[in-house]
Amino acid sequence: MTSAVSAINRLRGQRGRFSALGLTITATVILAACSSPAGSGSGSPGVGTPVRGGVAYFAQQPLSPPNYIFPLVSGAYFTVANVNNLQTLLYQPLYWYGDRGNTAVSYRLSIGNPPVYSDGGRVVTIALKHYVWSDGETVSARDVGFWINLVKANKSNWASYVPGGFPDNIVSWEALGPATVRLRLNASYNPFWFTYNQLSQITPLPIAWDRTSLAEPPPSPTAANLPDTRTGGAKAVYRFLDGEARKVASYASSPIWSVVSGPWKLASLTGNGTATFVPNPSYSGPEKPRLAKFVELPFTSAAAEFSVLRAASASGGPGSSGQQISVGYVPSNSLPQQPALRAQGYQLVRYLPFGFNYLEPNFNNPKVGPIFRQLYFRQAFQHLIDQAGWIHAYYGGLGAPTYSPVPASPANPYANANASVNPYPFSVPDARSLLASHGWKIVPDGHSTCARPGTAAAQCGPGVKAGQPLDFTMMYPSGLPYVDGSMTDLQSVAKQVGIEISLDQVTSAAIAATILSCAPSSPACGWQLGNYGTAWIFAPDHYPSGEEIFQTGALGNVNNYSDPAIDKLIIATTRVPASQAQAALDAYADAVRLQLPNFWQPSPGTLITVASNLRGFSPNAYGFINPEQWYFAKSQG
Amino acid sequence: MTGYLVRRIVQAVIVVLGITAVTFVLQHVIPGSLARAILGNRASAAEVAAFNRANGLDLPPVEQYLVFLGRLARGDLGYSYRLNQSVDSLVIHQLPNDAILVGTALLLALVIAVPLGIIQAVHRNRALDHAATSVTFALYSMPSYWLAILLIAGLSVGVHAFPAEGPQASTAAGMLGNPRALVLPVLTLTLVNVALFSRYMRSAAIATLAEDYVRVARAKGLPDRLVLSRHVLRNSLISVTTLVGLSLPAVLTSGLIAEYVFNVPGVGLTYYTAAVNADYPVMLGITVLVGIVTVLGNLLADVAYAVLDPRVRYA
């Protein structure tokens, strides 16, 4: 009964980072906004006479109501519902990424002006635009420092923390003035990487929150020795704010959470998860809300959401009444009903977030790990994955093939020409040939076994025993028809070369608790192949470098892959000067796409429904939402 | 009667304690850790340790169980780390939804099924009985999910007579304030239950109609209406009473399909989701609650037997 995964609203499913590029570098190494638009979805065209007001209804993913408001969020609450659909509407991050499908940073929508890098990439200076909090205070350099102090003192409670990354790489911060902050870094970093992967982690917080109880009056932004300036004090402030974030029912009336910088204020959050937002009249950004209200509707299932879509009116706006979903989604098993939705009047928008998808082979599994460590085997296995066929047959045409860790789709300025070329196209004969030429006795529809053990070129490879069969167990989440279909296909195709894949459908929670980094001797290393059912999305760090997934020992490198040559290439992507950034990224991507640290599979897309007269909607490349850009139009069509 | 009640209550307390112990043990033998299930596989060891420390999961299991029992004694069913709220508040918020949906459906089903069963018994093996049997068999064999989808397709998407989702209010009063939205989910649950109850009622009534006291009553010239209402109905209700008693915990859990399809958050769906997401505190809390209600339902059924049939309390 688990509903289909819809990429737009799931962040728990987002195992990775959020991304973008396309920067111009001046002589003084200034990062400036630009980049080619990277359409991941066309959106609703801005035609028709705009009408002020009206209520837009947004369908939440099933059983995923927002329930944690504090932006310094732990892994337990690191979900799309909380980060993308609640926190960023209220508390604007320092920089905004992914606007209208463009993978780049949008300096126009950001609080910070383009960061200026100096001292060989060891110093970053950020000038803030004039933004104000809803309590009248200015969004200042001190607010950025407040965030850094809190994160530094509470790293183990922060879902986005990566050892060695932000804030470990910030030696110090300094307010050069009320609206300028300077960060000193512990090394020289690639300015693109730092802007997209590290500065993306900053959300200025109001000094009104810098206290340890509600009984204390909100401190003045200019006060000295506030609690956050001491580690113990910052921990106490975190405990207080986390405690306040546990009182979900009182979010809307809280004196803490009602101080916002974003375009919206929370008017109510009901027990069943209906979140109602109203425009923040103090919002300083360039796009003020035109809607009277923005309402997020909870659903118990994708089926329930789809029933409402079908039964409700496809148009909305001022004066409309009755059931309606202004922005919703089509469950994957209901994709054939697209004509009926179009006939109702809905606009249908295809959406593919910036990321890639893969299967995880466990390199440390004591039984099959030695097989996975053989490049020829990984190549043969990749030849068995029919990405185009899966997209057509199981993804309802909504998906993009993955050939590279810097993917070609959606369009982005990072991917080179190789990203569009499949180095190991679907070919059973090629897979058979590779295995046979490396000492395997192929038994179609049976069990192929290693006939020539050893380490020579035409032998099975180190660690593979004589007579060892090619038998694997694949874990994948239940309830996702496209995953189920593609895994069944893989099982069937693999059988043709004598590879036996036992399919093991489990819950997503079981996958998260099982597919773990492990030592070969550990009982936890019993898993062999895993499929999450959701793609790696470049969020909340948006540069498509691989330090969080393919680098030896990285937290996201749960399949225990380790290659010193790849490690070097990854480090280069984070450390080279801006002038060499793209070359370093190309070198990394070209190596990883051929080395297959995991098996590439298609990234699933989502079909979004938009009310017939709603305009301004365009999916964000990383799944954020900007209802302040939406409006109803007078004339339909 | 008092001694009988005391014995049954003591038994009930022991059963509930057993349920808590078994559930707690099961929670600890499930592979994987709660922290991993909640934080995901990318969480660092420090993050996992911080989570375990903050939630008392680093204590020995026996100590955790005693802490759990202590909380339970204070009416604290636990805290969901996924949903960021206490299990108590979840249940308190969702129970009215279930009580209204499932409770109304149960009542309606009884109101329809009891007379229907008796009518079928009286007219057994005739056209009316065959027709009712066919309909109830069809309804009983139809998955409620499918029935719900059919009702939505026909009455909501097709003719827009009723909303496709249940009431979205957060309170019982709000739920009742939108009766049109209640129609489809209540109808789905009612139709399934009518089929079940009417079959039981028909069988019991047929057996009762064959009893000597019924024949005597008729021989004495008592009108059929009085024979049915005074003798057949009361004696036939015993078997249905068992069903109703066992259905009490169903108020908490049997609404799952209706909750899923009609967008009404309820305890049944919350329990299912907790199981899928390894939200152990919610699973444990609701299991204990359902255990208590099940024991209570059985207790009430036993008391009802004793009231309906005095032989039971002297046994």
Pairing verdict, β A116-118 and A631-633: unpaired
The token duo for B85 is 């709220």
CATH topology for the B88-314 domain: MetI-like fold (1.10.3720)
Q: Residues near B229 by Cβ (< 8 Å), separated by ≥ 6?
A: none
User: Does the residue A277 lie in any domain?
Assistant: no
Q: For residues A218 and A299, give the distance between their C-alpha atoms in angstroms, rounded to a whole number.
A: 37
Which of the residues B42, B80, B282 would you substitute to probe the A interface, choosing the one with the greatest number of A C-beta atoms within 10 Å?
B42
Distance from CA of A514 to the nearest CA of B (A): 6
Which of the residues A239, A251, A272, A531 would you substitute to probe the B interface, choosing the one with the greatest number of B C-beta atoms within 10 Å?
A272
Give the length of chain B. Answer: 315
Contacts of B38 in chain A (CB under 8 A): 75-76
Please judge whether B31 and A510 are an interchain contact, meaning their C-beta atoms are less than 8 angstroms apart.
Answer: yes
Residue in A closest to B51 by C-alpha: A157
Q: Note whether B47 contacts A: Cβ–Cβ < 8 A.
A: yes
Phi, psi values for residue B138, rounded to 5°: -60, -45
* Burial profile A173-209: b = 16 or more Cβ within 10 angstroms, e = fewer: beeeeebbbbbebeebbbbbbbbbbbbbbbbbbbbbb
Identity at A255, one-letter amino acid code: P
A552 in the same domain as A411: yes
pLDDT (tens digit, 9 = 90+) per residue, A563-576?
999 999 999 999 99
pLDDT grade, residue A2 (50/70/90)? very low
User: Pseudo-torsion of CA A480, A484, A485, A488, nearest 10°?
Assistant: 180
Classify residue A316 as left (phi > 0), alpha (psi -120 to 50) or beta. beta
Domain count, chain A: 2
Please judge whether A272 and B170 are an interchain contact, meaning their C-beta atoms are less than 8 angstroms apart.
Answer: yes
The better pLDDT of the pair A358, B218 is held by A358
Q: For residues A248 and B189, give the distance between their C-alpha atoms in angstroms, rounded to a whole number.
A: 32
Please judge whether B85 and A67 are an interchain contact, meaning their C-beta atoms are less than 8 angstroms apart.
Answer: yes
Query: Under a CB-based contact definition with an 8 Å cutoff, are residues A349 and A610 in contact?
Result: yes
Contacts of B260 in chain A (CB under 8 A): 1, 300-301, 303-304
Query: Under a CB-based contact definition with an 8 Å cutoff, are residues A423 and A593 in contact?
Result: yes
The token duo for A80 is 């799309």
Q: List B residues 163-222 in contact with A (Cβ-Cβ < 8 A).
A: 163-165, 168, 170
SS (H, E, C) A332-377: HHHHHHHHHHHHHCCEEEEECCCEEEEEEECCCCCCCHHHHCCHHH
Domain ranges across chain B? 2-86, 88-314
Please judge whether A300 and B263 are an interchain contact, meaning their C-beta atoms are less than 8 angstroms apart.
Answer: yes
Lowest mean pLDDT among A17-26, A118-127, A153-162: A17-26
Q: For residues B309 and A425, give the distance between their C-alpha atoms in angstroms, rounded to a whole number.
A: 76
Please judge whether A301 and B263 are an interchain contact, meaning their C-beta atoms are less than 8 angstroms apart.
Answer: yes
Of B31, B41, B262, the CB nearest to A304: B262
pLDDT grade, residue A15 (50/70/90)? very low
Residues of chain B with pLDDT under 70: 1, 30-32, 248-254, 310-315
pLDDT (tens digit, 9 = 90+) per residue, A403-438?
999 999 999 999 999 999 999 999 999 999 999 999
Q: Residues near A498 by Cβ (< 8 Å), separated by ≥ 6?
A: A440, A442, A443, A444, A445, A446, A447, A448, A449, A470
The angle at the Cα of A617, spanning A540 to A43, to the nearest 5 degrees, equals 95
Of B84, B165, B277, the CB nearest to A308: B165
- Residue in the block written with tokens 């009361």: B234
Helix (H, G, I), strand (E, B) or coil at B130: helix
Specify the pLDDT at position A20: 28
- The secondary structure of residue B291, as a DSSP letter, is H
Query: Which H/E stretch holds residue A96?
Result: strand A96-97
Q: List B residues 88-117 in contact with A (Cβ-Cβ < 8 A).
A: 89, 93
Segment A81-100 mean pLDDT:
97
Query: Under a CB-based contact definition with an 8 Å cutoff, are residues A91 and A10 in contact?
Result: no
Specify the pLDDT at position A9: 36
Specify the pLDDT at position A43: 67
CA dist A381 → A233, A428, A441 (Å): 53, 9, 16
Please judge whether A248 and B93 are an interchain contact, meaning their C-beta atoms are less than 8 angstroms apart.
Answer: no
Please judge whether B272 and A323 are an interchain contact, meaning their C-beta atoms are less than 8 angstroms apart.
Answer: no
Q: Note whether B57 contacts A: Cβ–Cβ < 8 A.
A: no
User: Does the residue A636 lie in any domain?
Assistant: no
Q: Residues near A637 by Cβ (< 8 Å), separated by ≥ 6?
A: A48, A612
Is pLDDT at A123 greater than 90 in this prediction? yes
Contacts of B261 in chain A (CB under 8 A): 301, 303-304, 307
pLDDT (tens digit, 9 = 90+) per residue, A466-507?
999 999 999 999 888 999 999 999 999 999 999 999 999 998
Interface predicted TM-score of the whole assembly (ipTM), two decimals: 0.82
CA dist A97 → A111, A133, A197, A539 (Å): 12, 21, 11, 10
Specify the pLDDT at position A16: 45
- The secondary structure of residue B231, as a DSSP letter, is I
Query: How many C-beta atoms lie closer than 10 Å to residue B69's C-beta?
Result: 13
Establish how many alpha carbons lie within 13 A of residue B60's alpha carbon, considering only the half-sphere containing its beta carbon.
3
Q: CATH number of the domain that A369 lies in? A: 3.10.105.10
Contacts of B84 in chain A (CB under 8 A): 67-68, 76-77, 245-246, 248
The token duo for A61 is 């993913």
Specify the pLDDT at position A163: 87
Residue ranges making up the domain that contains A424: 355-604
User: Does the residue A486 lie in any domain?
Assistant: yes
DSSP secondary structure letters along B239-272: HHHHHHHHHTTHHHHTTHHHHHHHT---HHHHHH
pLDDT (tens digit, 9 = 90+) per residue, B214-249?
999 989 989 988 888 888 888 888 778 777 777 766
Is pLDDT at A10 greater than 70 in this prediction? no
Of A67, A163, A312, the CB nearest to B84: A67
Size of interface A-B (CB pairs under 8 A): 146
Identity at B146, one-letter amino acid code: W
Angle between helices A564-575 and A581-595 (to 10 degrees): 160
Q: For residues A80 and A537, give the distance between their C-alpha atoms in angstroms, rounded to a whole number.
A: 12
Q: For residues A89 and A263, give the distance between their C-alpha atoms in angstroms, rounded to a whole number.
A: 6
Q: CATH number of the domain that A128 lies in? A: 3.90.76.10
Please judge whether A307 and B85 are an interchain contact, meaning their C-beta atoms are less than 8 angstroms apart.
Answer: no
Please judge whether B42 and A155 are an interchain contact, meaning their C-beta atoms are less than 8 angstroms apart.
Answer: no
Specify the pLDDT at position A18: 28
DSSP secondary structure letters along A490-502: HHHHHHTTT-EEE
Please judge whether B263 and A2 are an interchain contact, meaning their C-beta atoms are less than 8 angstroms apart.
Answer: no
Q: For residues B35 and A156, give the distance between their C-alpha atoms in angstroms, rounded to a whole number.
A: 13
The token duo for A584 is 């370093």
Segment A514-537 mean pLDDT:
92
Residue in B closest to A73 by C-alpha: B39
- Residue in the block written with tokens 């949008």: A106
Specify the pLDDT at position A46: 63
Helix (H, G, I), strand (E, B) or coil at A472: strand
Segment A455-462 mean pLDDT:
96
Q: Note whether B36 contacts A: Cβ–Cβ < 8 A.
A: yes
Segment A391-406 mean pLDDT:
95
Query: Which H/E stretch holds residue B97?
Result: helix B87-98
Q: For residues A464 and A368, give the distance between their C-alpha atoms in angstroms, rounded to a whole number.
A: 8
The token duo for A29 is 């190494």
* Burial profile A581-607: b = 16 or more Cβ within 10 angstroms, e = fewer: bbebbbbbbbbbbebbbbbbbbbbbbb
- The secondary structure of residue A76, as a DSSP letter, is G
Contacts of B150 in chain A (CB under 8 A): none
Q: For residues A272 and A524, give the distance between their C-alpha atoms in angstroms, rounded to a whole number.
A: 38
Contacts of B81 in chain A (CB under 8 A): 76
Domain boundary among A247, A279, A298: A247
Of B83, B260, B262, the CB nearest to A1: B260
The token duo for A493 is 């195709």
